[in-house]
Amino acid sequence: MEGKMESMPGEPAEPWRFGVEPLGQTTVLASLMRRIAGLAISMEQEAPALDRLIEDLRAAEQALSDLVPADPAPRLGRRSTADQRVYLDHSRDIGSYNPCFPEYTIEVQGNQAAGTVAFPLAYEGPPGIVHGGFLAVFFDCVIQDQNCELGQTGKTASLSLSYHRPTPLLKTLEFEIDRLVADRRIRSNARLSLDGVTLCTATMDAALGDRSALPAVSPRGSHH
């Protein structure tokens, strides 16, 4: 770590959670959509199965659009209305319900954390390689996951990446994070590797937020 930052004393606060848990159907759909996307971009020629899927998805889009709130703004705070959508918890496991985010495992041990990730074909940039933008999304997710688990988090102030080697798709990769907190700032250094070889590193600064300042989250069922 750079500078004079030191770990804050005392026990970590309760995990920081903000939002509603996803529906079971949503989590099943996210994983399925990632796998289908990988299969679709691997096709050699058009297939009847994809024609049927497109038709089913168009029908589902129409049916679901009639069920969700009309206003896509999240239902937060005192001025929220029943016409706004429910806000899902983004503190951890975003990829479990949103196929645009990666899935990963993580174990938090205080100011250290470690885990694994495997990027599917949907995140390809150069041939067989993870797009660098998805690596930035990944690091932001896992670093803030650790922060939220320790109850000390806030908005990302800066995130910088160094690409040491190409990051391969479809491989189980390891990551580790070290963090320090001081002067209302959280500094996290993270490393992504394969078989001990560093592929990408990231440094993130986040402002230490005030949990009491968060707006109230309306629970599911507030929409009628």
In a domain, 78, yes or no: yes
Pairing outcome for strands 112-117 and 84-85: unpaired
Query: Is residue 6 within 8 Å of 180, Cβ to Cβ?
Result: yes
In a domain, 221, yes or no: no
In a domain, 7, yes or no: no
CATH of the domain at 185: 3.10.129.10
For residue 136, the enclosing domain spans 24-213
What is the C-alpha to C-alpha distance for residues 151 and 211, in angstroms, rounded to an integer? Answer: 9
pLDDT tens-place string over residues 135-194: 999 999 999 999 999 988 888 999 999 999 999 999 999 999 999 998 889 999 999 999
In a domain, 35, yes or no: yes
**pLDDT value of position 172:** 98
pLDDT at 8 over 60: no
Give me the amino acid identity at 64: L
What is the C-alpha to C-alpha distance for residues 104 and 76, in angstroms, rounded to an integer? Answer: 28
Q: What percent of the chain has pLDDT over 70?
A: 93
pTM, two decimals, is 0.88
Number of domains forming the structure of the chain? 1
In a domain, 4, yes or no: no
175, exposed or middle or buried, with CB in 10 Å at 0-12, 13-18, 19+?
buried
pLDDT at 9 over 50: no
pLDDT at 91 over 60: yes
In a domain, 10, yes or no: no
In a domain, 2, yes or no: no
Confidence of residue 222 (pLDDT cuts 50, 70, 90): low
In a domain, 19, yes or no: no
- Which alpha helices (H) appear in 66-174, and where do they start and end? 132-149
